[in-house]
Amino acid sequence: MLLDGRKLLITGVLTEGSIAFAVARRAHEEGAEIVLTGFGRGLPITQRIAKRLADPPPDVLELDVNVPEQLAAVAHDLEQRWGKLDGVLHAIAFAPGDALGGDFLATPPESAQVAFTTSAYSMKGLAAALLPLLEKGDHPSIVGLDFDATVAWPAYDWMGVAKAALESVNRYLARDLGARGVRSNLVSAGPIKTIAAGSIPGFEILAQAWDSQAPLAWDTKDAGPVADACLFLMSGLARGVTGEIVHADGGYHALGAPLAPRAADDADHALSGDRADV
């Protein structure tokens, strides 16, 4: 199995529709030992959801990534439990309501700061807290969830800025952790209907763009393709990959404009001809 015996910490599991849940489920299926984290009022929800992953369910540790004491407590627990760590999923992001929705120019600095701290700086905080354990792991890997920050999106506003910061944080982590044998990568996902996505005004309009521009069919209710990309980066197969952003978005990022309505049909017709010149 791809992750047989690997020990992973998975953050961000809140509902069965979340990308983090899909990663946890697939990681368990591929032989990994997993521990989840939950936060605040969502902690009991994560504990309930954990029961749908396995029997017995994986343990859930409390973790607010903005609280250094909780980062230290998680690191201590994992040290006592496993003595090492092979991989971490950073699936944490948050922006206040006034940092989303299209009124980019009116967002106050404190809201932009919350978006940056929770969504980008936290990946550094998580990596630093767990580094002594990751150094003892087997081809250890940190994987974060991204949404393409090379362009501006409708309504995404300061979360888009935070994702741009996350992409930069990833590169600097790759720079500083590589000499210690630890990899850092991101998976840039296509739109998935999660609780977090539901809090973004205009998400449906954004998601509909995938229908016309993604070369591969994209199901906003299926986080599986994104989860499998995360599993690859957490596995030994990706031992030479760091500082990378892997796009699991149906190819949307590769096109500069929507596909012509009959482009796929025309291509099929051309391929079905009697001869082809190459």
Task: For residue 119, give the DSSP letter.
Answer: I
Are 234 and 87 contacting, i.e. CB atoms less than 8 angstroms apart? yes
DSSP three-state, residue 38: strand
Write the CATH number of the domain with boundaries 7-271: 3.40.50.720
Task: For residue 190, give the DSSP letter.
Answer: P
Instruction: Please give the structure tokens belonging to residue 151.
Output: 């362009």
Q: How confident is the model at residue 199, as a pLDDT?
A: 65
Torsion of CA 106, 109, 111, 114, to 10 degrees: 150
Q: How confident is the model at residue 265, as a pLDDT?
A: 52
Active-site hit among 136, 163, 193, 221: 163
DSSP three-state, residue 27: helix
Q: How confident is the model at residue 261, as a pLDDT?
A: 74
User: Which amino acid makes up residue 81?
Assistant: R
163 is catalytic: yes
Instruction: Please give the chain's pLDDT, 278 residues, in tens.
Output: 999 999 999 999 988 989 999 999 999 999 999 999 999 999 999 999 999 998 899 999 999 999 999 999 999 999 999 999 999 999 999 999 999 999 999 999 999 999 999 999 999 999 999 999 999 999 999 999 999 999 999 889 999 999 999 999 999 999 999 999 999 999 999 999 876 666 666 677 777 889 889 999 999 999 999 999 999 999 999 999 999 999 999 999 999 988 887 444 555 544 444 444 44
Are 230 and 238 contacting, i.e. CB atoms less than 8 angstroms apart? no
Q: How confident is the model at residue 245, as a pLDDT?
A: 98
Q: How confident is the model at residue 197, as a pLDDT?
A: 64
Are 253 and 188 contacting, i.e. CB atoms less than 8 angstroms apart? yes
Active-site hit among 136, 156, 172, 193: 156
Question: What are the distances in angstroms from CA 124 to CA 7, 41, 72, 104, 150?
Answer: 20, 24, 14, 26, 21
Q: How confident is the model at residue 113, as a pLDDT?
A: 98
Q: How confident is the model at residue 31, as a pLDDT?
A: 97
Task: For residue 50, give the DSSP letter.
Answer: H
Are 50 and 36 contacting, i.e. CB atoms less than 8 angstroms apart? yes
193 is catalytic: no
Instruction: Please give the structure tokens belonging to residue 156.
Output: 């995404």
Question: What are the distances in angstroms from CA 266 to CA 255, 262, 273, 278?
Answer: 18, 6, 11, 18
pLDDT tens digits, residue range 10-25? 999 988 989 999 999 9
* DSSP structure string for 227-268: HHHHHHHHSGGGTT--S-EEEESTTGGG-SSPPPTTHHHHHH
Q: How confident is the model at residue 259, as a pLDDT?
A: 87
Torsion of CA 144, 199, 27, 49, to 10 degrees: 140
